[in-house]
């Protein structure tokens, strides 16, 4: 089908909830995507941190094909092997004890919220249901996770929101402490805020939150949907801080491109969920889990984390060079691992992203002035050079 026909059908039949860029993709290999006209693009968006090993990694493609040829789905009222393999691997990687599987980041956070409330009801008392989250956070689009998301722009038009959420300032421990009271049961946040503009937590802040939660019998929930699974150079971003959560959520990269989410918890907390308390028809689906297991094996066996650390340093050197060469265009850069952002002095990051698209580079803006980079975790120095060269030309074209 022609690209024009596809965009016409989309505008006619699909609910218009996305502001899409004008490109139709048909295939991908490694760090590159190809559009319907055969043009290649270097992908530094990675499906917003999903395609962590690039497109169509052979191990993931083979795992999906193999599992799809044997068993695609059964209900969670039965057992399947891929699900337990992924659960075992995630537990080994995280040091947490049990996993609940679902299909997305929002669902993983929804499960975390439910578990925190159930645990509070069981251990602390029915009136302890409040969860404190951070301003500028992003936790998803279901009603509970939308309420948890501390950004009014996502909530507008969807009131009334869920009861039981309070907000505090990210990286401001006194702000969190001031929001805690006799109804609080948990604190939930991203160790590196992603959609809020790529802001890593400060070490004193996260360590202080851990101490505060321990002292007050509150759960610390980390949303690692975007920052987890190698993105920052550790399996989980919290390892940079030596601060282990009681509950952690994952999704995005986990399925190597297939939809899967996971909520992990330590034994004492996980144990408050009894059969029937929570469920998902598709959660832990055999094909999604086969893809996830293949992804986790590659993450471990192909030294992906050390590549992330090396390429992060390399890319930050490049971004520093860019900010020195174009001081009127670039303000600063920030981030952790391969979750990086460039702060512009120009009014429209969106215009720069559009220019890069024309030149065959996919980037994404997270605010009017912020460009986000989420390259594949196995990206090469040559690909980073290519991306920075294109970005430089795009920036120079915008005064």
Ligand X SMILES: Cc1ncc(COP(=O)(O)O)c(C=O)c1O
Question: Which one of residues 83, 94, 104, 147 is an interface residue with ligand X (CB under 6 A)?
Answer: 104
Catalytic residue among 138, 205, 222, 295: 138
Closer to ligand X by Cβ: residue 195 or 383: 195
Closer to ligand X by Cβ: residue 144 or 322: 144
* Options 220-228, 263-271, 290-298, 360-368: segment touching ligand X (CB under 6 A): 220-228
- Determine, following the binding rule CB under 6 A, whether residue 110 of this chain makes contact with ligand X: no
Residue 205 tokens, joined: 């802040």
Residue 318 tokens, joined: 């490049």
Rounded Cα distance, 308 and 311, in Å: 5
**Site string (235-274) toward ligand X, x via CB under 6 A:** ----------------x-----------------------
Question: Which one of residues 28, 54, 82, 105 is an interface residue with ligand X (CB under 6 A)?
Answer: 105
- Determine, following the binding rule CB under 6 A, whether residue 232 of this chain makes contact with ligand X: no
* Options 174-182, 190-198, 325-333, 391-399: segment touching ligand X (CB under 6 A): 190-198
- Determine, following the binding rule CB under 6 A, whether residue 52 of this chain makes contact with ligand X: no
Q: How far is CA 229 from CA 50, 94, 283, 337, in A?
A: 10, 10, 19, 11
Q: Is 54 exposed, middle or buried (0-12, 13-18, 19+ CB in 10 A)?
A: buried
Question: Which one of residues 102, 106, 132, 294 is an interface residue with ligand X (CB under 6 A)?
Answer: 106
- Determine, following the binding rule CB under 6 A, whether residue 307 of this chain makes contact with ligand X: no
348 Cβ contact partners less than 8 Å away, ≥ 6 residues apart? 368, 398
Rounded Cα distance, 70 and 271, in Å: 33
From the CA atom positions of the chain, what is the Rg in Å? 21
Residue in 364, 55, 374, 103 with CA at minimum distance from that of residue 229:
374
* Bridge-based pairing state of the strands 40-43 and 32-35: antiparallel
Q: Is 138 one of the annotated active-site residues of the chain? A: yes
Closer to ligand X by Cβ: residue 51 or 323: 51
Q: Is 86 exposed, middle or buried (0-12, 13-18, 19+ CB in 10 A)?
A: buried
Number of other residues whose CB lies within 10 A of the CB of residue 254 = 28
Q: Is 252 one of the annotated active-site residues of the chain? A: yes
Closer to ligand X by Cβ: residue 168 or 394: 168
* Options 53-61, 91-99, 137-145, 308-316: segment touching ligand X (CB under 6 A): 137-145
Catalytic residues: 138, 223, 252
Binding residues for ligand X (CB under 6 A): 48, 104-106, 109, 138-140, 190, 194-195, 223, 225-226, 251
């Amino acid at each position: 089908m022609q690209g024009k026909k596809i965009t016409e059908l989309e505008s006619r039949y699909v609910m218009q909830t996305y502001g899409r860029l004008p490109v139709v993709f048909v295939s991908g290999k490694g760090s590159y995507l190809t559009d319907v006209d055969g043009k290649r693009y270097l992908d530094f968006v990675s499906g917003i941190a999903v395609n962590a090993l690039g497109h169509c990694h052979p191990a993931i493609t083979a795992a999906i094909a193999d599992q799809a040829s044997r068993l695609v789905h059964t209900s969670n009222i039965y057992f399947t092997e891929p699900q337990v393999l992924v659960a075992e691997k995630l537990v080994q990687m995280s040091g947490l004890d049990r996993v609940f599987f679902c299909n997305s980041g929002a669902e993983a956070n929804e499960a975390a919220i439910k578990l925190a409330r159930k645990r509070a009801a069981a251990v602390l008392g029915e009136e302890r249901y409040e969860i404190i989250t951070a301003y500028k956070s992003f936790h998803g689009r279901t009603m509970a996770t939308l309420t948890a998301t501390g950004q009014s722009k996502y909530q507008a038009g969807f009131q009334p929101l869920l009861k039981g959420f309070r907000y505090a300032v990210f990286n401001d421990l006194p702000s969190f402490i001031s929001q805690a009271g006799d109804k609080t049961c948990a604190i939930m946040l991203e160790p590196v805020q992603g959609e809020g503009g790529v802001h890593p937590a400060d070490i004193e802040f996260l360590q202080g939150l851990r101490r505060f939660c321990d002292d007050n019998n509150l759960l610390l929930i980390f949303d690692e949907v975007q920052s987890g699974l190698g993105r920052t150079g550790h399996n989980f971003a919290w390892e940079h801080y030596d601060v282990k959560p009681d509950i952690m959520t994952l999704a995005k990269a986990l399925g190597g491109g297939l939809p899967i989410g996971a909520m992990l918890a330590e034994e004492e907390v996980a144990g408050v969920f009894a059969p029937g308390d929570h469920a998902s028809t598709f959660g832990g689906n055999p094909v999604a889990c086969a893809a996830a297991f293949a992804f986790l094996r590659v993450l471990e066996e192909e030294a992906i984390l050390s590549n992330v650390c090396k390429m992060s340093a390399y890319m930050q050197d490049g971004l520093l060079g860019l900010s020195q060469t174009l001081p009127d265009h670039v303000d600063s850069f920030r981030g952790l691992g391969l979750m990086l952002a460039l702060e512009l002095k120009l009014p429209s990051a969106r215009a720069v992203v559009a220019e890069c698209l024309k030149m065959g580079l996919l980037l994404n803006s997270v605010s009017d002035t912020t460009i986000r980079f989420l390259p594949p975790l196995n990206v090469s120095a040559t690909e980073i050079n290519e991306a920075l060269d294109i970005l430089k030309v795009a920036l120079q074209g915008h005064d």
